[in-house]
């Protein structure tokens, strides 16, 4: 992430927006179950809000600094923090009842890594588990905000096919302006 993203994603306005608007919209009526995996926690703005919704939360972050800071702030609060890669999840199969990512997928360096992350998320979800995500659409404003940062936008038109190919079902995509949320479920049969 670039300097602007680091500042914005840790700001009070993003914290307020996440708590009041983003998370209620992403989660909606979805049942998160007893153990949620947060992918790409960043500076941890969503982490305490997510913890309020589940008995156990595991937050995963690629940046060592963000992961270490998040761990220091949340150790012993029913939150486990790990530094790891979403495309190579260090968890056994069927560990989590749900998984969520907020503006993380576009930071993976290729569509192939995004697809690997989808497969990994499916693998670590329990049968019936739900994957929820918020992403931004491609556009000049989003590209300017990601100068000197990884920005590989997920095309909303491809989400259904990509998640279905990974093994998910009941895939939905909903839009609000330049952002979209996706919801996909792991089948009860697998």
Quote the pTM value. Answer: 0.90
Residues 6+ apart with CB under 8 A from 141: 178
Question: Does the pLDDT at position 36 exceed 70?
Answer: yes
Give me the chain's average pLDDT, please: 90
pLDDT value for 152 = 78
Mean pLDDT of 133-153: 72
Mean pLDDT of 39-66: 94
pLDDT digits (tens, 9 = 90+) for 73-124: 887 788 999 999 999 999 999 999 999 999 999 889 899 999 999 999 999 9
pLDDT digits (tens, 9 = 90+) for 69-81: 999 988 778 899 9
User: 133 or 2: which carries more pLDDT confidence?
Assistant: 133
């Amino acid at each position: 992430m670039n300097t602007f993203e680091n500042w914005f994603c840790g700001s009070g306005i993003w914290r307020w927006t996440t708590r009041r608007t983003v998370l209620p919209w992403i989660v909606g009526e979805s049942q998160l179950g007893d153990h949620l995996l947060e992918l790409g926690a960043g500076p941890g703005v969503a982490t305490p809000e997510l913890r309020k919704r589940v008995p156990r939360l595991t937050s995963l972050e690629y940046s060592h600094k963000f992961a270490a800071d998040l761990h220091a702030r949340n150790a012993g609060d029913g939150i486990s923090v790990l530094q790891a890669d979403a495309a190579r999840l260090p968890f056994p199969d069927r560990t989590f009842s749900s998984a969520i990512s907020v503006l993380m997928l576009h930071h993976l360096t290729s569509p192939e890594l995004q697809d690997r992350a989808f497969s990994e998320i499916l693998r670590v979800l329990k049968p019936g588990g739900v994957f929820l995500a918020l992403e931004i659409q491609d556009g000049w404003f989003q590209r300017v905000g990601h100068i000197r940062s990884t920005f590989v936008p997920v095309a909303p038109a491809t989400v259904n096919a990509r998640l279905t190919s990974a093994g998910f079902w009941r895939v939905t995509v909903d839009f609000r302006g330049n952002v979209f949320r996706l919801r996909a479920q792991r089948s009860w049969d697998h």
